[in-house]
Every structure is written in structure tokens, then in C-alpha cells.
Amino acid sequence: MPKLRVHNITVSVDGYAAGPRQDLAHPLGEGFETMHEWMFAAMRDLADGKDGIDVEYVRRSEENIGATIIGRNMFGPQRGPWEDESWTGWWGPNPPYHNDVFVHTHHLRPSVVMEGGTTFHFTDEPVETVLARAFEAAEGKDVRLGGGAATVRQYLRAGLLDEMHMAVVPRLVGGGELLLDDLGDAIDGYRVAETVVSPAATHVRLVRR
């Protein structure tokens, strides 16, 4: 049965998945860009045919993915109504998704077709409806929930997430957006299934009970 999965979401020791004051110059929040060095190094090693703990988690993130869900903040720095529709994401003309991507937003716009098979669809529908659409687009494969933190929390609260991989980096951030904040009883529906330590990060995998 297809799953909804989160991969490679980087978290500080004090629980932050993004730094404060996200904007065009600081898409992950001020001071947070270097938190993802473990992943960029692993991606380079994977491309070079090298192996390792971090490489294995990056490799898993690409397996059997047929569609993606992200939040508005992950698509771009603008908030509120679109000033124009020229912004098509952080990634240039050929985004790394190569599938249908459903973007949660209160401000709709037409779908955007990009190079490499990526199409961004903008939706204000409930998470259950968006997930159903994503599963349909995935055609039997799994759906990746890309983030950011607020979007992941929505799916956790709804009990829709099947598994989540967090990379806990040994740093304190002190402010920004907490990943596992205000989940209430929803967190009781998950358990820690795997913990593996590399020199760069502690990899923790949560799965539905």
C-alpha cells in the first residue's frame, strides 16, 4: 500500500527545522543554511558512487516516489497574495522533483509546468484531499512530504504520515520554527523505529504505530 513519507528533514538539537526570519536571502531562516551540509556532502558522495550512513539515507529518499507535497514557504519567499506569477520556485527551470508537486497555499494560481517532469499544483484543499490527489498522481508509488515544518505538523496532527526521517545535527539554533511543536495526542500515534549515528548527524526514523 502506498505511503506518505518525510525524508532528510534537518533538525537542530533544540528541535528547530528552520531558523528565524526566512526571506529571499535566507530561505531556511537566518543561520540555518549550514545545517544541511551533511545532506549536500552525502549527495555529492552519492553522485561519485561513494557509500556511507548519510549517503544511504539520501538514497532512500528517492526510492519509489511518485508525487510530492510541500507548503507555500518551501515553494518561495512570498507571503500573502501573489504579487505576480513570475516566481516558479527556488530551483531554476528544472526542479529536483520530476513529478507532480502539490503546494499548500491560501492563494491559488494556475499550475506551473517545469522542465524534467515537475508540475506545481497550488491548492487550498484539506490535507486529506491533497493527499488523495497526490496518491492518484503517484500511480501506486509513495508520496513524499517535503516540508516545511508547519506542513509536516499538519499531516502529523491528522495522523496521515506513515514515516518520517529526521537528521538531528549537533547544533543549537535557539529560535525559528520547531518541527514537533504543539502536536498534542497526535505524537502518540508514532514510535521511533530506527536511530543511526554518523559523524555529521543522528538519523531518527519515526513510523506509525
CATH assignment at residue 161: 3.40.430.10
Quote the pTM value.
0.93
Residue 21 counted as domain residue:
no
Question: What does the pLDDT average to over 169-179?
Answer: 93
Residue 181 counted as domain residue:
yes
All cell numbers assigned to 15: 528541535
Look at the chain and report how many structural domains it folds into: 1
The DSSP-derived string for the chain is: ---EEEEEEEEETT-EEE-SS--SS-TT-TT-GGGGHHHHHHHHHHHTT---HHHHHHHHTTTTEEEEEEEHHHH-S--SS-S-S----TT-SS-S--SEEEEE-SS----EE-GGG-EEEEE-S-HHHHHHHHHHHHTTSEEEEEE-HHHHHHHHHTT---EEEEEEES----SSEESS-S-GGGGGGEEEEEEEE-SS-EEEEEEE-
- Name the least confident of 19-23, 38-42, 126-130: 19-23
Long-range contacts of 52-57 (CB under 8 A, 24+ apart): 52/198, 53/196, 53/197, 53/198, 53/203, 54/167, 54/198, 54/200, 54/201, 54/203, 57/7, 57/8, 57/165, 57/167, 57/203
All cell numbers assigned to 71: 507548503
- What phi-psi label fits residue 201: left (phi over 0), alpha (psi between -120 and 50 degrees) or beta? beta
Residue 182 counted as domain residue:
yes
Amino acid letter, 115: E
Digit-coded pLDDT (tens) for 92-104: 999 999 999 999 9
All cell numbers assigned to 68: 510530492
Residue 154 counted as domain residue:
yes
Which residues constitute the domain of residue 46?
Answer: 4-16+26-78+88-208
Instruction: pLDDT band for 171, please (50, 70, 90 cuts).
Output: very high
pLDDT of residue 191: 96
Residue 83 counted as domain residue:
no
